[in-house]
A and B are shown apart, each in its own frame.
Chain A
Amino acid sequence: MERENNAENAMIRDAVQGWAKKNCSREVARRWDEEDAVPGSALAELAALGLCEILVPEAYGGQGRNVKGACIVTEELAYASPALAALYAGSAIYGGEIFSAWGSDEQKKRFLPACAAGECMVAPVMDNPDAGAGNCVVGPEAVKKNKGFLISGETAAVPVACQADLFLVLARTGEGHLTMFCIRSGEEGIGVTPTECLGYHGSAIGRIRLDSFKVSDEDILGGAEAFGNGWELRSCVLGLLALQAAAQGVGIARAAFDYALEHAKQRIQFSQPIGRFMAIRHLFSRNFYMIEAARLMVGKAAWLADHGESFVLEAAMAKCLAQETARSASLDGLQVLGGYGYTMEYDAQRHVRDAAGLNFIGGTSDGLKGRIGDLLQLS
């Protein structure tokens, strides 16, 4: 089986690797991390390469849906800079996928061309990731008012929130009843507070607060008739977020792995490269097969998506494994670099900080395990 399944995706991987090599070297990624900012020009360049069209139907200016390709782009960007991968997902993936599948005709026309052009950063705002397995805690509540709703409430930290043009907000619309709304940023009644985080610097993580934010029935994702279908949407969007985070995890793991591998081959102690010591070699061996497994799981979930099948279970599993893999590869990487790995002059510490972001990006491991349990009908 060819890794990318087709020539198009192999080209996509080459294109992103080539771009990243030139425009997002380790030095550049380090600077973005230190400055806690990714320049907008980076995303504009990715859009110019057509990489934001990857999930948008041709009728709306895209190239047609290619989830596998989107995962490849995300993985390669995360390899260079996880923050950039997160911003790319916000810019190209969430809008493209969610509006294509769930948007009303009017929403498709309004948002998809902008998504394809990389001009519409979308932040899905889901239930609180920290609520634990089997719990769905939704902060915002939408109360019916005349021909629309007033939404109020706060959320936990959300990636790309501080740069989002559009929020897709899951809100309570009655007892056990959820609806997803499209909310423009920068309007009265919505505030975003940046969250200073351990890693993923530059990915614009923030908390959202809504104060009697006014929306119309047409702002419901899918239009007025989609009122109350939030549970179904939640499951699919959480699957998409998990898949994206899984691809990011594979990228982070690979970056940490390669970085430490270079060091292990060069660093001489006791008259030999430290990679020759079995204790070190086996760390690499283990991480190597974990990375391969996580990558295959991401590929399988994406394949299912591309073939119109549900990928929610596979995405949750892929995310759990990718998170563990990124954590293991980065912690082992730092250990292999020793004192050097602990200094800010080397990237090993950033890999650890970024990998820890997967503790909640794309769902916590408790939440994901809970959902896997649900899908196994253990609830």
Chain B
Amino acid sequence: MRGCRPIALVAALACVAVLGIAAAAVTLDDFGRVLAAIPVVNEARVMAAFGLGLKSSCCGFPVDETYRLLERLAAVSGSAADKEAIVLAIAKAIEQGIPVDSLLNKAFEGLARAVPLEPLGQLLELRLRLLLESRDLFYSRGIFRASPGAAVAAGATALPPSQFDGLLSNFSDALGDYLESGGSPFEAQQIYDEVHARLTQLSGTVLTASDVDLIFSRIEPADLTQVVLTALR
């Protein structure tokens, strides 16, 4: 009988752990509740986007972080429209299959710094456009996010999703930081140098060295001016 006690204890702890994990997992209903607390007008669209995100949570959608951002957003004072603009920027990124980590980081920082919600939403919208334009640039240079079963054209390169997302996120983030630091969108070489420095610094750690080399073998300084100007329009 005494020998059974440790086993029962371990089993009980395992059950508690499993229940705890199950209870902690954020569901679509949780998103619905927190969105109602904000509240948002385009709830159906946002819920659809978060539903999409939850389905792809295996591939990098940061469910918990997104939920915590919405909780914080619901708690701060401000107009519902300004809050919705922030939520929509995240939702649009999910709809487009864009990594949202950098958007979440900026939103968290903005809230921590007590930045007014309207300019915060505008900044996130700009960051989103930079992400989209950067991705289009990657695509135009034959650098793609690999999807199962999709054929890769000759001369094109399909990177594993996590590698592609990491590359895109840091590439676009460097552009956003450059602009926010007061950099001119017309200084092609300077923009290029900033992006080059950022990706090179991360090469071999969070980015694969060959991916970084691939980017700079196919992208010219003038391309970056084009991305930035298009995003600013």
**Is A bound to B?**
no
